[in-house]
Amino acid sequence: MKPRISVHKFSSCDGCQLAFINAGEALLELATLVDIVHFAEAGPVDPDAPVDIAFVEGSISTQDEALRIRRLRETTRYLISLGACATAGGLQALRNFNARGVEDWSHAVYARPEFIESLDTATAIARHVKVDLELWGCPVSTRQVFAAIRRLLYGALPFVDNEKVCQECKRRGITCTLVTRGIPCLGPVTRTGCGALCPAFGRDCYGCFGPGENPNAAAMARRFQGLGLLPEEINRRFHFINSHAPDFLEEGLAWREDRP
């Protein structure tokens, strides 16, 4: 019997599910090796079906999602969170800094806030259930997703790639944007996986893959200060896509004048 896999959406933009769809022929090949039993964006719909591997995109932002992720955990062998929303709460977790909660921001954003059902916070999947593997990035890398599936299908533990973007720059011979041009690049503290995409095009990394292993975020922030960034600008470098990844959260708060 073929392994069964599923892809589930929670609060997200659907961009990480495209990691599968963009795989093109590799997705067709995968479909011959496994049964894809639930993947609403691509066709099959059976969200409660028991599976061997469940991929989860999105943060937990509603009461319904908090219940749904617990049900999913009970019916899957391996649960893999997919992308910044699922691993750190994503951009929507910026609202967690609003101490006045959902009542406040829903009235500011929506014309009919009475239709909004939301928790006060958007949180990572691992805050709710056990997660077997986290794949970071906004969006995730197709290469990393398929490497993880391949290893699981062969019964091996997936490789966790958590070195820094800088190391990938060096291997690819990309000129450092921070050292040579004084651009405030987060590559020295950000997890690799994207192939140093932004520095390859001469721009700074903004940390979409979240913190790498042992990031020295405090030293990074002081370097940004030396480049002339104001405390608010340093805060925003860390409190962006992965604002609630612990290393970025703490360092961002340290540069916030109205620290909650």
Q: Which residues bind ligand SF4 (CB under 6 A)?
A: 12-13, 15-16, 57, 83-85, 90-91, 138-139, 165, 190, 194, 196-199, 205-209
Run of H or E including 147: helix 142-153
Closest approach, Cβ 119 to ligand SF4, in A, equals 17
Taking the least distance from each CB to ligand SF4, the nearer of 118 and 190 is 190
Note every long-range contact of 37-42, with CB atoms under 8 Å and residues 24 or more positions apart, other chains counting. 37/4, 37/5, 37/6, 38/6, 38/7, 38/8, 39/6, 39/7, 40/7, 40/9, 41/7, 41/9, 41/14, 41/17, 42/7, 42/17
Taking the least distance from each CB to ligand SF4, the nearer of 153 and 236 is 236
Closest approach, Cβ 187 to ligand SF4, in A, equals 6
Closest approach, Cβ 87 to ligand SF4, in A, equals 8
CA atoms within 13 A on the CB side of 142: 13
Taking the least distance from each CB to ligand SF4, the nearer of 101 and 195 is 195
Closest approach, Cβ 161 to ligand SF4, in A, equals 12
Taking the least distance from each CB to ligand SF4, the nearer of 52 and 134 is 134
> What residue type is assigned to position 103 of the chain?
E
Nearest residue to 124 (alpha-carbon basis) of 96, 152, 158, 145: 96
In the bound state, the residue with its beta carbon closest to ligand SF4 is 15
Closest approach, Cβ 93 to ligand SF4, in A, equals 10
Distance separating alpha carbons of residues 234 and 197, to the nearest angstrom = 22
CA atoms within 13 A on the CB side of 221: 24
Closest approach, Cβ 84 to ligand SF4, in A, equals 4
Question: 164 pairs with which residues across the strands?
Answer: 191
> What residue type is assigned to position 95 of the chain?
R
Q: Are 6 and 55 in contact (CB under 8 A)?
A: yes
Closest approach, Cβ 114 to ligand SF4, in A, equals 26
Distances (CA, A) of 168 to 106, 160, 194: 41, 15, 9
Taking the least distance from each CB to ligand SF4, the nearer of 158 and 207 is 207
Taking the least distance from each CB to ligand SF4, the nearer of 129 and 205 is 205
Taking the least distance from each CB to ligand SF4, the nearer of 91 and 148 is 91
